[in-house]
Amino acid sequence: MSQSSESSFPSRILLLVPVAVLGVLSIIATGGGGGGDNGGGGNGNGNGEVPPTILTSYNFEIGSVVPQSQGGLEVEANEFTVTVDFGDTILGSVNLDVGTNNQVTFLSYVVYEGSDFSITVSRTQTVLDGTFTVEMTADLNADLDAEPTSGTFEVVAGDETATVNVVANGVELSLNGGAATFYTWDDYDNILGDPMAEAWQQRAALAGGAMQFIFEQMFAVADRLDELEASVEGPIATSCDMFDGTPPDGVLGQGENVLTWLGATSADSMLGSIFDWEFTDCWTSDNDQLANGLIQFQNYIEEVNASNVLVRIGFGPTADMDGGIVFVGWTLSDTSDDQGVYTIDHSGDLTISGGFSLMFEAM
């Protein structure tokens, strides 16, 4: 080692500190350097407010709109009424991807073991009338817009316990621990309309259908969460699918849904906000369903921690206010297509009322 090198030893070693700091800071400043998806919303170098960090997974809780109440969702059709009662007990988690401008895409979800709810069926004039409970006995795992890949739940009515076990490409149904029968997803869906199916099988199918409906509505609402702030500036209209033929009588060729902010209970934040989500002839080509009516989001709750991380978001009751996702005569109609002419058989209409609270919380 040269003499000059020895004399420069302390200063050179001290230089390592800023080099290390610079190295680490330059990694952080890449906002997720490497790996393709780079995490949006990280451009905090502007003068504007830094948007909160959205985590990649959150727990969720679905409960009743009114605290300590068994109120729930009611689906009314021509020949039956189905009421789902939540007891603040559907718990699970969601995985999501956060893109540019904090735009969230939900990827998958889990419904935790122990979650339960009850279903009351009325007006069928069959043995199906009555109340039964649904309880997850093993975590239900599913990707968004796909059938579940695993999970088990029990449907209990009196002394009958039906077990629904999700397996590859379908479910296995069994009664009171007896032999299990495999059903493809289509066969499982069709049990409800099968006059030969036994009551326990119909309850098992109805429980699955109810869960599917609840989670469809949950994600439909969750998909709008990242638009709430923008809706304060003015209503946000979204075009629905356009009929690729002649629309049903009196129905628009292309309807829309409009998200409107009605106001907040807090003067300086969005907390307690109420939003109207109004559907007008909103047709979805994927399932040939036409939606009309109103869904109201009541009592917005958002919590961002001191590190600017979003730790809680949703709609639910607080001590002084009811809250949740409330359906106000929201109607779904099935459309059918005959050589490009669409019609609606209104005898199959479903009218949804009531609602549920929905809260996402950091894990």
Min CB(49)–another protein separation in Å:
10
Binding segment (CB under 8 A) for another protein, from list 24-32, 198-206, 286-294, 330-338: 24-32
Q: Per the structure block, which two tokens stand in for 281?
A: 């002839």
Of residues 306-335, those binding another protein (CB under 8 A)? 306-309, 311
Which of these, 317, 254, 248, 323, lies nearest to 284 by C-alpha position?
254
CA distance 27 to 35: 13
- Residue tagged 């600017």 (tokens): 308
55 binds another protein (CB under 8 A): yes
Stretch of 18-26, 70-78, 83-91, 139-147 lying at the interface with another protein (CB under 8 A): 18-26
Cβ-Cβ contacts under 8 Å for 60 (sequence gap 6 or more): 91, 92, 93, 94, 109, 218, 314, 358, 359, 360, 361
Among 1, 168, 179, 196, binds another protein (CB under 8 A): 1
**How many residues of this chain interact with another protein, rule: CB under 8 A?**
53
> Site for another protein (CB under 8 A): which residue of 10, 35, 195, 234?
35
In degrees, rounded to 5, the angle at the alpha carbon of residue 184 between the alpha carbons of residues 180 and 185 is 115
Strand partners, 304: 310
Should residue 239 be labelled a site residue for another protein when binding is judged by CB under 8 A?
no
CB of 15 to another protein, least distance (A): 5
Interface residue with another protein, options 37, 79, 216, 227 (CB under 8 A): 37
Among positions 69, 93, 95, 122, the unique one binding another protein when judged by CB under 8 A: 95
Q: Which are the contacts of 69, defined by CB distance < 8 A and separation ≥ 6? A: none
**Plot region of 123 (φ>0 → left; ψ -120 to 50 → alpha; else → beta):** left
294 in contact with another protein (CB under 8 A): no
The residues pairing with 75 across neighbouring beta strands, listed in sequence order, are 82, 352
Name the residue nearer to another protein (CB basis): 22 or 232. 22
Residues that bind another protein (CB under 8 A): 1-2, 4-5, 8-9, 12, 15-16, 19-20, 22-46, 50, 53-57, 95, 98, 100, 305-309, 311, 362-363
